[in-house]
Amino acid sequence: MNFCFRRNFKVLYDNNDFGIQHAIGGLASKPERDLLMQDFMTVETTNFPHEGSNHTPAHHYSEFKFKTYAPIAFRYFRDLFGIQPDDFLMSMCSAPLRELSNPGASGSIFYLTNDDEFIIKTVQHKEGEFLQKLLPGYYLNLDQANKSERQKTSPTYKDLDFMEHHTEGLFLEADTYNALIKTMQRDCRVLESFKIMDYSLLVGIHNLDEAQREKTEARKRTDSGQSDGDDAEGEPRKGLNRTRSINRQRLVAHSTAMESIQAESEPIDEEEDVP
């Protein structure tokens, strides 16, 4: 989506609100169908006059234009990731966006929705046109992924964070290592076909012991608020001892949208540094 004006953030947000609600609401009247190549290249421009029109509401600002890029294609992408229209509107339009303090190296500005669900990045027209040309390839890539491979993980750290938390790196079995390298080579071929030089590897690390410990501590705090604390304190601790070294059967690294790589691991004691 594109804004053809430069104004203060309050005006930008309000007009963004009008435009997104109009764009998402308009899609409800369009039947779902298979994507066509022209769906990726479509750009819809809507005028929002001050006094309103048959299709747009009246507002307190000067007339502005709102562009929606590939609306049918992005509806497909949202459906693919299980993003409901009402939830999307709630995230984007219920509260002002928060500007992130560190802009990108390109000078782009990043905004975050109030519920932390979406990041919005400003791009120049040339970059926007380039990204739009990638949509068909992006669609083919996502279309090959199953549901579990499209699930997001959090939090996300940068490379220096990884080096700080995992100074010795990650040790992989031969089969897992070979599968990871194969996936990276395949991704590089896709990026090369798009003539893209930047490549980032996203590694997901799920510490099962830590997750169980956090659940137990949360349960302990809840129980302590409902009793004197002596009985509630002992039971969660017993639960922690029982589950310290169980449920550590798989480490899953979602390396790409096309493939997830799974590796078996042996039980590890709580005291060890588990990646």
Pairing of β 64-69 and β 43-48:
antiparallel
**Nearest Cα to Cα of residue 237 among 267, 216, 268, 214:** 216
Placement of tokens 């750290």 in the chain: 157
Long-range contacts of 161-166 (CB under 8 A, 24+ apart): 162/203, 166/205, 166/275
Q: Is 189 helix (H, G, I), strand (E, B) or coil?
A: helix
Mean pLDDT confidence for 167-185: 86
Kindly indicate the confidence band of residue 101, based on its pLDDT and cuts at 50, 70 and 90: confident
| Domain boundary assignment for the chain | 2-143, 146-275
Query: Which residues fall within 8 angstroms of residue 186, CB to CB, at 6 or more apart?
Result: 256, 258
CATH superfamily of the domain spanning 2-143: Phosphatidylinositol Phosphate Kinase II Beta (3.30.800.10)
The rounded mean pLDDT for the chain is 74
Mean pLDDT confidence for 109-125: 87
State the virtual CA torsion across 258, 211, 166, 251 in degrees, nearest 10: -40
Is residue 71 within 8 Å of 42, Cβ to Cβ?
yes
Highest average pLDDT, of 101-105, 122-126, 161-165, 203-207, comes from 122-126
DSSP state of 247: S
Residue 26 scores a pLDDT above 50: yes
Q: Which residue type sits at 199?
A: Y
Kindly indicate the confidence band of residue 203, based on its pLDDT and cuts at 50, 70 and 90: confident
81, two tokens:
């990731």
pTM more than 0.85: no
| Nearest-10 crossing angle of helices 135-143, 125-133 | 40
Mean pLDDT confidence for 234-253: 39
> For residues 14 and 12, what is the distance between their CA atoms, to the nearest angstrom?
6
- Sign of the alpha-carbon dihedral angle for 120, 126, 129, 134: negative
Cis upstream peptide for 96 (omega within 30°): no
